[in-house]
Structure 1
Amino acid sequence: MVSASSLLLPSSMRDFASCIGDGAVRVACASPSSTLTSGGGSGSGSGAASTLAVTASYRATPLNSNASSPPLLFRLTWAHSPVGPTLSFAPSAAAPSVLLRRRRGTRSFTLADGGGDADDAEAGSEPPMLALFWDLTAARYDPGASPEPLYGYFVVAVAGAEVVLAVGDLAAEFVKTKFEGQISKARCLAVSRRERVVVADPAAMHTARVRFSEGGPEHEVSVGCATSSGGGEELWVSVDGKRAVQAQRLRWNFRGNQTVFVDGAPVDVMWDLHGWWFRDTPGCAVVMLRARSALESRLWLEEEGAAPGFSLVVQAFKAPP
C-alpha cells in the first residue's frame, strides 16, 4: 500500500511532517468571504509567481470493486515547455508519468504492477486495462500563468466499463456522446494538488483554487512572503482574502505548523523554508495545506486510508530547477 504522503510531498517535507509534535498545533479561524476575481493557478500581475507545473492526483473507487480492492490512483501533470503547455498521465501512484505528445488522442494502460504501459505487458497475460481519452485542441489558458487549461478540454479514463476519471468542462459531453450515456461512473475524488512555481520577486504571491472537501465550496488560497515592520521576513497564508497564517522571523522560524478552520473543519498548514534560506540553487520552499477529519488526533498520518483529506502543496523555487 502506498502511503498518502508519498503522493503529496517531497521527501524533505514528509520527514518534517513526521517529526512535528502534536502539541505544536495552534488553532485559528478562517471563515470564507466573497469570491475573489482572479482565477488561474497563480495570481496575475507583477507580484505573481510563475507556475512551472501543476500535478493533480485523484482517487477512484469503481462501483464493481469489492471491499478489499484498493482504489485506483491517477496523476495528471500540466507543465510548461518550449513548445507550449504539456500534459502527462500516470495510471497509478507508483507508475511514472507518460507524456501525452498529441493534443488529442487515446492510449491504453495496464493497471497491474504499478500501472505500466499496455505495450509492456507480458505476452499471454490479461492484466486489467485502462483506456485514456483526451482532447486539448480547444483548450484555453491564462497567458503567463498556469499551464493547466481554464476550459475547453477533457481528460477521461475508463476501466472495467466504468468512467473512473473525468476532468475538464467538456468531459461530461464527451462521455455522453462516446458511450451514449450507457456507462456507469465510479466515485472519483481529487486528493492532492501540487503546484511548482518560480519566485523571481521576493514579495511575490501565489494563488490556487481548491476544494478541501467533497462537494464543498471552492476556496482561493494565497501564499506570500513580505518584509515585516521590523525588517525581517514573514510568511503568510490567506483563505478567500482573509489572513489565516502569519509566521515571522523566518530565518529562525523556517519550519512550523498551524491549524486553521475552513468550512468548520480543521486544515493543517505546514511550512519548510530551510532549503530557501540555507541551500544553493534551486533553493526550494514548501508550504502544505492538508484537510483532516476532526476525529484525527495526529497532525500527519502515513497510511493512506487514515489520511484521506485533500492536500495542497506549493513548492517555490528561486530559479527553475
Structure 2
Amino acid sequence: MKDFPSCFGENAVQVADSSSSNSNCTKTAQNLVICVYQCLIRGKSCLISITWSKSLMGQGLSVGVDDSSNQCICKVDIKPWVFSKRRGSKSLQAYSCKVDVFWDLSSAKFGVGPEPLEGFYVCVVVDRQMIMLLGDLKKEAYKKTNAIPLASNAVFVAKKEHVFGKRLFGNKAVFCDNGQVHDLVIECDTSSVSDPCLVIRIDTKTVMQIKRLKWKFRGNCTILVDGFAVEVYWDVYNWLYGNGASLGNAVFMFRTCLSEHKLWVSQPVSDENMLQSFSQRFSETKLKGLGFSLMLHAWKNE
C-alpha cells in the first residue's frame, strides 16, 4: 500500500498493513507521524514529507521531496538521537538547484507521540527562499538561514498517525491547511457488547453514528466540519473479527473536499481492498490538490 511518497521506502509503507501479525515490528512502526506539504520549487509542484519517529534510541526525523508523479527526488534522514543531532542542516539537490534543510530540536518539547509540540523549527530553503517552515521558533529559523519569506508558503495536505485506546480513541485534528484544531474522539466498544456501535465526535458533538457495525464494518459517509464537506471512511474489520496476537488496527480516513462538486459519488465501500481504496484517494488529495486527508490507524490496547 503505497499511500505516501516513495522517499520513505517499503519499510514505511508496511505501517499501513493492518494485517501484520508481527506485534513487535508493528509496535515499533506505530511510533510514526507523517505530514505532507504541497509546494513549488522553481515553479514545479512537489510534495515535502516530514516523518517524525520515536524509538528507544530517541526521536527521529526524515524530510523527503517528491515530484508531482510521486517519485522521490531527494531525502535527508536524521536518525533517532538521545544526546546528539538535535540541531543541524543538510544540502540536497532537486530540480537542478540546491535544497537546504535546517532543523533545531535542541529545546523541543514532546508529548506522548513522536511529533514535537513546541520549541523547535524545521525548514526547507531553496535559492535563499523559505519554501516551508514548521515550528514556533520562526525568528530563530530566519536568523539561522538568512532566507527570504515567500508570499505563498507550503500547504498542509495530508497527515497519517496512530491512536491508541480500549473504547475511546482521542486525538487533536485539523481538516484543512491552517484550520481550526478540533478534539476528535472515536468511540467503539467491541468487547463488552454484542452489537457494537461506532460513534465519532468532534468537539463533543456527535457527527457520525453507525449501528449494526458487524454488518457495516466498512463504509463511508459525509459530515460537515467548519463549513467543509468531510468524507469519512472506516474499516473496523480487524476490531470485530481479529483475534489474539493477530488483532490488527482499524483505519479511518477524513478527507476534506474543497467544494461540493468534488465529492465522490456516494457508493458503499465494502470490498476487501478498502486499504488500497484509501491509498488511491489519499494520493488524489496530495497530487490533485483536492483538499486535505487525515488517516488514523486506531489500535486497541490489550
TM range (shorter): 0.7 to 0.9
Q: What is the CA-CA distance between 1:233 and the residue it aligns to?
A: 1.9
Determine the C-alpha separation between the residues in 1 that align with 2:90 and 2:13. 29
Q: Rate the CA distance shift 1:52–1:231 in 2: closer, same or farther, 3 A.
A: same
Q: Return the structure number with greater helix share.
A: 2
Q: Rate the CA distance shift 1:81–1:214 in 2: closer, same or farther, 3 A.
A: closer
Amino acid at match of 1:86: G
Question: Which residue matches 1:234?
Answer: 197
Determine the C-alpha separation between the residues in 1 that align with 2:78 and 2:139. 21
Question: 1:85-234 to 2 correspondence within 5 Å?
Answer: 85-92=59-66, 93-95=70-72, 98-101=76-79, 102-112=85-95, 127-142=96-111, 145-170=112-137, 172-180=138-146, 182-184=148-150, 186-199=152-165, 201=166, 203-210=167-174, 212-226=175-189, 231-234=194-197
Question: Which residue matches 1:314?
Answer: 296
C-alpha contact (below 8 Å) 2:190/2:239 kept by paired residues? no
Q: What is the CA-CA distance between 1:194 and the residue it aligns to?
A: 0.5
**Which residue, 45, 55, 60 being the options, matches 2:39?**
60
Q: What is the CA-CA distance between 1:75 and the residue it aligns to?
A: 1.1
Q: Tell whether 2:258 aligns with 1:295.
A: no
Determine the C-alpha separation between the residues in 2 that align with 1:229 and 1:301. 33
Amino acid at match of 1:140: K
Determine the C-alpha separation between the residues in 2 that align with 1:196 and 1:295. 31
**What SS does structure 2 have at the residue aligned with 1:91?**
strand
Determine the C-alpha separation between the residues in 1 that align with 2:15 and 2:208. 22
Q: What is the CA-CA distance between 1:148 and the residue it aligns to?
A: 0.8
Q: Deviations over 1:100-125 (max 9, x none)?
A: 1321111122225xxxxxxxxxxxxx
**What SS does structure 2 have at the residue aligned with 1:224?**
strand
Determine the C-alpha separation between the residues in 2 that align with 1:264 and 1:157. 32
C-alpha contact (below 8 Å) 1:106/1:132 kept by paired residues? yes
Determine the C-alpha separation between the residues in 2 that align with 1:12 and 1:76. 15
In the alignment, structure 2 segments of 5+ residues that lack a partner are 6-11, 17-29, 80-84, 266-280
C-alpha contact (below 8 Å) 2:189/2:196 kept by paired residues? yes
Q: Rate the CA distance shift 1:182–1:78 in 2: closer, same or farther, 3 A.
A: closer
Question: 1:205-284 to 2 correspondence within 5 Å?
Answer: 205-210=169-174, 212-226=175-189, 231-279=194-242, 281=246, 283-284=248-249
Q: What is the CA-CA distance between 1:270 and the residue it aligns to?
A: 0.4
- Tell me which stretches of 4 or more aligned residues in structure 1 moved more than 6 Å: 9-13
Question: Which residue matches 1:33?
Answer: none
In the alignment, structure 1 segments of 5+ residues that lack a partner are 14-50, 113-126
Q: What is the CA-CA distance between 1:6 and the residue it aligns to?
A: 5.0
Question: Which residue matches 1:123?
Answer: none
Matched-pair identity in %: 29
Question: Which residue matches 1:42?
Answer: none
C-alpha contact (below 8 Å) 2:168/2:185 kept by paired residues? no
Q: What is the CA-CA distance between 1:128 and the residue it aligns to?
A: 2.6
Tell which deviates more after alignment, 148-157 or 305-314: 305-314
Determine the C-alpha separation between the residues in 2 that align with 1:196 and 1:229. 24
Q: What is the CA-CA distance between 1:73 and the residue it aligns to?
A: 0.6
Question: Which residue matches 2:53?
Answer: 79
Determine the C-alpha separation between the residues in 1 that align with 2:296 and 2:76. 23
Q: Return the structure number with greater strand share.
A: 2
Amino acid at match of 2:114: P
Q: Rate the CA distance shift 1:283–1:181 in 2: closer, same or farther, 3 A.
A: closer
C-alpha contact (below 8 Å) 2:195/2:212 kept by paired residues? yes
Determine the C-alpha separation between the residues in 1 that align with 2:157 and 2:164. 24
Q: What is the CA-CA distance between 1:139 and the residue it aligns to?
A: 0.4
Question: Which residue matches 1:45?
Answer: none
Q: What is the CA-CA distance between 1:229 and the residue it aligns to?
A: 9.6
**What SS does structure 2 have at the residue aligned with 1:220?**
strand
Q: Larger relative CO (CA 8 A, sep 6+): 1 or 2?
A: 1
Determine the C-alpha separation between the residues in 1 that align with 2:148 and 2:263. 43
Q: Rate the CA distance shift 1:135–1:269 in 2: closer, same or farther, 3 A.
A: same
**How does the TM-score come out when normalised to structure 1?**
0.69
Q: What is the CA-CA distance between 1:190 and the residue it aligns to?
A: 0.7
Determine the C-alpha separation between the residues in 2 that align with 1:165 and 1:57. 11
